[in-house]
Amino acid sequence: MLASVATHLLRVELSVSGDVALLRLSGTVDADARFPTPPQAQIIISTTDVNRLTSVGVRHWIAWLERLAERGSEVFLVDCAPDIVVQLNQIQNFAGHGKLVSFYMPYDCPTCDRQSMVLMRTAVAKEQQPFRAPVRRCEVCDGVLEFDALEDGYFAFLQRYAAPEVPPAVAAVIDDQGNRGEIARIASTSFPSLSTIDSALTPSSAPDLTGPHMPRIEHVSPTDRHQSAPPPRRGPSMPLIVLMVLMLAGAIGLALVLLLRGT
């Protein structure tokens, strides 16, 4: 139960270096996803471990990037997971004003049936038109890997994004990602939840149409919890009180009998 709940959480790790904030997102971007808005002027968003986005989650994401832009923060998208690349291709304003620094390319080894991700910088990919997945070899069998997507479709977003100018302070944080300092873990459950609104709009028995993924049986809104909670506890039941009174009366009677016999 805990594990399935965890797969539905969006986890955000925040680390701050001067005026640069690095947010590392992992898990699912869905209706419950809540994004922090750190005050730094430059915000790096890493999505290596984002493995699912629902349609409502995408709306939350776009609104979040709009809030950051309105506040004047410069946003850099790094390590975009394949699921993020799919969104970049499908939704025109998915990155908002964010600058696309790097993205992952999925490869597959036909011999080992092993999947691997190769990181590519947008600036490097932009040098080749149209961009084609470079040849990569399997770390295990050294065979040539197959690119695990349709190249025309997967790299289409590159036509809409310029090679970004990355300020030195931002580049330093990106390069130093493997050696992070203080990290604040922020789970989406610690933010106010809108799940009550969602469940009010759609009956809880309706199937989840946001994706061909796991059933959302673990989605429990506060109202559901209230309905399924046991009734409030009352005091001791009536028969118990009667029994206690009888026992007390018996004890007093026994004491009186003993007292009278003693005299």
Q: Looking at 37, 55, 111, 190, which residue binds Zn ion (CB under 5 A)?
A: 111
Quick one: 103 or 107, whose CB is closer to Zn ion?
107
Q: What is the x/- site pattern for Zn ion, positions 68-107, by CB under 5 A?
A: ----------------------------------------
Quick one: 140 or 244, whose CB is closer to Zn ion?
140
Q: Looking at 105, 138, 158, 174, which residue binds Zn ion (CB under 5 A)?
A: 138
Q: Looking at 5, 141, 187, 251, which residue binds Zn ion (CB under 5 A)?
A: 141
- Those residues whose C-beta lies under 8 Å from the C-beta of residue 83, and which sit 6 or more positions away, are 50, 51, 52, 53
The residue written with tokens 């399935």 in the block is 4
Residue 166, interface with Zn ion (CB under 5 A)? no
Quick one: 111 or 223, whose CB is closer to Zn ion?
111
Residue 136, interface with Zn ion (CB under 5 A)? no
Residue 115, interface with Zn ion (CB under 5 A)? no
Residue 109, interface with Zn ion (CB under 5 A)? yes
Choose one: 50-58, 141-149, 174-182, 187-195; the region binding Zn ion (CB under 5 A). Answer: 141-149
Quick one: 143 or 250, whose CB is closer to Zn ion?
143
Size, binding site for Zn ion by CB under 5 A: 7
Residue 112, interface with Zn ion (CB under 5 A)? yes
Contact residues toward Zn ion (CB under 5 A) are: 109, 111-112, 138, 140-141, 143
